[in-house]
Amino acid sequence: MRRALVLLTILGAWAAVAAADGGGPSPGLDFGNGIVAPGGKLRYSALSDGRTTVLESVVIGTGRVRGVTYFKGSWGIPRVTFGGDTGGLSRDGGNLVLATWPGFPKTRFLLVDAHTFQLRGRVRLPGSWSFDAISPDGSLMYLIHYLGSPSQIYQPYDVRAFDWNTLKLYPGAIVDRREPDEKMTGQPLARTGSPSGWAYTLYSRVKKPPFVHALDTIHRRAFCVDLPWSHSGKWIASVRLRVRGGTLELRRGGRTVGRMNTKTLKLG
Amino acid sequence: MTDDMNRALVLAVFVAAILAGSAGGAGPSPGIAPGSAGVLSHNGKVRYVALRAGRGTLVEAISTGDGIVRHMRYLKGFYGIPMVAYDGSTGGLARNGKRLVVYAPSRGIGRDTTRYVVLDPRSLRVRSRITLTGNFGFDALSPDGSLMYLIHLKSANGSGFDYEVRALDVNTGRLFPDAIVDRREPDEKMTGIPLTRVGSDDASWAYTLYAKQSAGAFVHALHTTAREAFCVDVPLNLGGDELGHVRMRLRGGSLLLRFRGRTVATIDTRSFEVKR
């Protein structure tokens, strides 16, 4: 337990420093909040003491533990934003990804059957990676690959796609083909998804406008849409996203402060 | 697993225990809850569970409303939330919410120690650890958690269990001398299997329905602050498997024993007089 706390402190500090410098985009792993299954009846949590990880599903409303298993090692449900959003559960509710902490020479991921907790796949990737998104059926996983040295705080990164059926990475990074040379930077602050498999993430950048990263998790394509603000003020951290009809709404304090058409990616 | 399945499982264990006489060293104590149900706080907002985690146990405080794990504590060794009856009733949480007891049952008569860990439910920090030589189960806690009642299995053989109820001072970790007996019948040995449990709202009384090894049933009424107990024979005219479906509830000054939706016996909780 103590070791886990030390690790958390170190990694928390790493994430915080990185965020302050506008580089490290990984929010790390969740610690207790878990992720809610589609339908809202179950919550999955992964809890680790550093040596062992207990994965459990808890019935919302009663707090009863419905399923439980444990894995050797320290695993967690991935956070996908600094706002506390978690990911890793496919929209069909059948697959759950667990990850080790990024920032080490190797990063490992597990794919678990969310109903039975049986292990469906495992992969160990050289370098520092973190989870970004999963396709609706759980067959494709999107990862952030940190390209700098482990000691480097400012971390340029790529988004990569991983096929759980073949256990292989797709070649090449997932980039906005309209601007293929633009490097991705920024910190993820808010996330929402759509039933059609899109993951929308609000990113802030130092001295640059915030942007929405729209990732099509089925067809492995992404688009970056700069938002019409001159810089990413602190207020941007309180913006939340939601999809309503064909519109992505940016909401703050109960008001809609921005809209994006999800088909044309035009701001309204 | 559904509640019915859980109940069927523990009843199956119960029947097996009856048939085997002393099988498994569990004796009259149901042991520890297998994870999922745990024990619920008095206001129903937090559920405490103990889950196996590798070579240890993860104790969790789960918010029932949203299912979020609010606190957790890793303990070396295998501990569980105490079961207090074979219908799946659990215990171990003091009524005032300041002590939670988990325990590791002994592995058998003759080479046994029983280990208890007392936690603060608000943080799950360990308040104390108590190790007793012998085969003990958990029975009840006083409302403030300062007194713990234990089932001490002294021996078991083909003819049944020999056990007693003991009280332990949680602050000192020491057993009070002598067993808790019904002073009206001090020489009568306790025999039976706990089927179901209900407690008074202030947790000062714990009422447990036992199936006798011979036949019939009795209610063990334990005064958890006074270290007193009373055994009340209850003529129910039910078969052994039917006894497992009797439930109890308190209404006013009466303890109602209910079977398939009807009251089959009523016990006055002051006089312990039984009415049918």
**A45-58, pLDDT tens digit by residue?**
999 988 899 999 99
For A179, the token pair is 């601007």
**pLDDT mean over B234-252:** 89
φ/ψ of A7, rounded to 5, equals -60, -45
Q: Which SS3 state, helix, strand or coil, does residue A181 take?
A: coil
Which residue out of B1, B46, B55, B68 would a mutagenesis test of the A interface target, given it has the greatest number of A Cβ atoms within 10 Å? B68
Q: How many CB pairs under 8 A join A and B?
A: 77
Residue B112 contacts by C-beta under 8 Å, 6 or more apart in sequence? B25, B106, B133, B134, B135
For residues B103 and A21, what is the distance between their CA atoms, to the nearest angstrom? 49
Which has more confidence, A240 or A268? A240
For residues B230 and B182, what is the distance between their CA atoms, to the nearest angstrom? 5
For residues A59 and A37, what is the distance between their CA atoms, to the nearest angstrom? 10
In the stretch 48-107 of chain A, residues with CB closer than 8 A to chain B read: 49, 51-54, 56, 58-66, 68, 70, 72
Report the gap between the CA of A82 and the closest CA in chain B (Å). Answer: 18
Whether B69 and A45 lie within 8 Å, measured CB to CB: yes
Is the predicted pLDDT of residue B2 greater than 90, yes or no?
no
pLDDT of residue A148: 77
Is the predicted pLDDT of residue A210 greater than 60, yes or no?
yes
Which has more confidence, A195 or A4? A195
Partner A contacted by B68 (CB < 8 A) = yes
Partner A contacted by B70 (CB < 8 A) = yes
For B38, the token pair is 């745990």
pLDDT of residue A150: 62
Confidence of residue A22 (pLDDT cuts 50, 70, 90): very low
Residues of B within 8 A of A72 (CB-CB) are 54
Report which residue type is found at A184: M
Report the gap between the CA of A52 and the closest CA in chain B (Å). Answer: 6
Residue B43 contacts by C-beta under 8 Å, 6 or more apart in sequence? none
pLDDT of residue A153: 61
Confidence of residue A3 (pLDDT cuts 50, 70, 90): very low
Whether B74 and A49 lie within 8 Å, measured CB to CB: yes
Is the predicted pLDDT of residue A188 greater than 50, yes or no?
yes
Q: Are A153 and A19 in contact (CB under 8 A)?
A: no
Looking at B11-25, B67-81, B125-139, B249-263, which range is the least confident one? B11-25
Report the gap between the CA of B263 and the closest CA in chain A (Å). Answer: 28
**pLDDT mean over B137-153:** 95
Whether the CA torsion A13, A19, A25, A31 is positive or negative: it is positive
For residues B83 and A188, what is the distance between their CA atoms, to the nearest angstrom? 46
Alpha-carbon distance values, B74 to A2, A100, B55 (Å): 10, 19, 10
Nearest to A61 among B55, B60, B64 (CB): B64
Angle, alpha carbons B267-B272-B276 (nearest 5°): 35
Report the gap between the CA of B108 and the closest CA in chain A (Å). Answer: 27
* pLDDT tens track for B36-51: 789 999 999 999 999 9
**pLDDT mean over A3-27:** 43
In the stretch 11-50 of chain A, residues with CB closer than 8 A to chain B read: 32-34, 36, 42-43, 45, 47, 49
Q: Answer left, alpha or beta for residue A82, where phi above 0 means left and psi between -120 and 50 means alpha.
A: alpha
Report the gap between the CA of A86 and the closest CA in chain B (Å). Answer: 13
Confidence of residue B158 (pLDDT cuts 50, 70, 90): low
pLDDT of residue B156: 64
pLDDT of residue B206: 97
Residues of B within 8 A of A56 (CB-CB) are 51
* B214 exposure class (CB count in 10 Å sphere: 0-12, 13-18, 19+): exposed
Partner A contacted by B252 (CB < 8 A) = no
Residues of B within 8 A of A66 (CB-CB) are 36
For residues A219 and A253, what is the distance between their CA atoms, to the nearest angstrom? 34
Whether B60 and A47 lie within 8 Å, measured CB to CB: yes
| pTM for this entry | 0.84
For residues B265 and B262, what is the distance between their CA atoms, to the nearest angstrom? 9
For residues A145 and A154, what is the distance between their CA atoms, to the nearest angstrom? 13
The per-type count for chain B, helices as H runs and strands as E runs, is 2, 19
Is the predicted pLDDT of residue B57 greater than 70, yes or no?
yes
Is the predicted pLDDT of residue B26 greater than 70, yes or no?
no
pLDDT of residue B37: 87
What does pLDDT average to over chain A? 87
* pLDDT tens track for A105-157: 899 999 999 999 999 999 999 998 999 999 999 999 999 998 876 666 667 78
- In Å, how far from its chain's centre is CA B268? 22
**Cα R_g (chain B), whole angstroms:** 18
For residues B173 and B19, what is the distance between their CA atoms, to the nearest angstrom? 35
